Chain A
């Protein structure tokens, strides 16, 4: 982690964005970073963009599975169900 001085340089400030969002900065570091943000529109924009990126990643829709892969997995599930039922079922399992 970069050393923090009273005047935090933008180059060091941008490296603190995730630590800041994760609540991992010390009280002094947080104060220094927030003070920097108030006076620096570019680093504020940088933090907002990181936040926007996180929000967008949370909206990534699950991709649709190819039908063949979906069918394979449903076979896995049916086999499981068969084995599972087989344990408590008086009927002998197939094969």
Chain B
């Protein structure tokens, strides 16, 4: 179903269409909201307000962006305004020169001292299984907030770089730093899991 058809069904009051949209995005929206606000309860409030905001705006939606992009733009605005009420800000600016990979894994000449633990074909297949995906989402929830938000929007929800930079008001370079650190952090978590013999 494309966005315009989905919108038409929502406007007609089709409960199944709304339930499908909720099922597809609610959990990822909670993950993003939780990176902005202090606790799960407040994050749920942000997401609920986002759904209300979306429904109220349905008549004005013209399909210039995707429904998903629009939904996340509402979410980010809601989360930002509640975060500022609670005097919290998510640091998106990374002007430090920290590295995504642990410098201790490299020899003084810059070559690998502890190379990546190989992912065999079997491991790559296992990555798509429910237990490994559960490890991956648990690891995602432990990333620093900026990385968690960017990785969720880009790699889980598959929004484009332009969409994510626009809604978070960050530069493409900054977004790539957060994305890379997040992905590298997840890679290390899965690698550690493999080393642990799981």
8 Å CB contact of B155 from A54, A62, A65? A54
8 Å CB contact of B18 from A42, A72, A77? A77
- Whether a CB of chain B sits under 8 angstroms from the CB of A10 is yes
What chain B residues lie within 8 Å of A46 (beta carbons)? 101, 116, 187
- Whether a CB of chain A sits under 8 angstroms from the CB of B192 is no
What chain A residues lie within 8 Å of B51 (beta carbons)? 73, 76-77
**Number of cross-chain contacts by CB at 8 Å:** 137
**Closest chain B CB from A22 CB (angstroms):** 6
Contact assessment for B24 and A62 in the assembled complex, using a CB-CB cutoff below 8 Å = yes
In Å, the complex CA distance between A14 and B15 comes to 47
Known contacts A15-B99, A56-B127: does B23 contact A65 (CB below 8 Å)? yes
Q: Which of B143-196 contact A (CB under 8 A)?
A: 151, 155-156, 158, 161, 172-173, 176, 179-180, 183-184, 186-187, 190-191
Please name the residue on chain B nearest to A56 by beta carbon.
B127
What chain B residues lie within 8 Å of A55 (beta carbons)? 127-128
What chain B residues lie within 8 Å of A94 (beta carbons)? none
Interface residues on A, range: 35 or more
Q: Which of B113-159 contact A (CB under 8 A)?
A: 115-116, 118-119, 124, 127-128, 130, 132-133, 136-137, 140, 151, 155-156, 158
Interface residues of A, Cβ cutoff 8 Å to B:
9-12, 14-15, 17-19, 22, 24, 42-43, 45-46, 48-50, 52-65, 69-70, 72-74, 76-78, 80-81, 84-85
Q: Which 10 A-B pairs have the closest CB atoms?
A: A9-B110, A18-B180, A57-B155, A81-B13, A63-B27, A42-B115, A80-B55, A11-B110, A11-B106, A56-B127
| Further pairs besides A17-B180, A46-B116, A48-B119: 18, Cβ < 8 Å | A22-B179, A42-B112, A45-B119, A46-B187, A53-B155, A53-B187, A54-B155, A56-B132, A58-B158, A60-B136, A62-B26, A62-B27, A65-B23, A73-B18, A76-B48, A77-B15, A77-B55, A85-B13
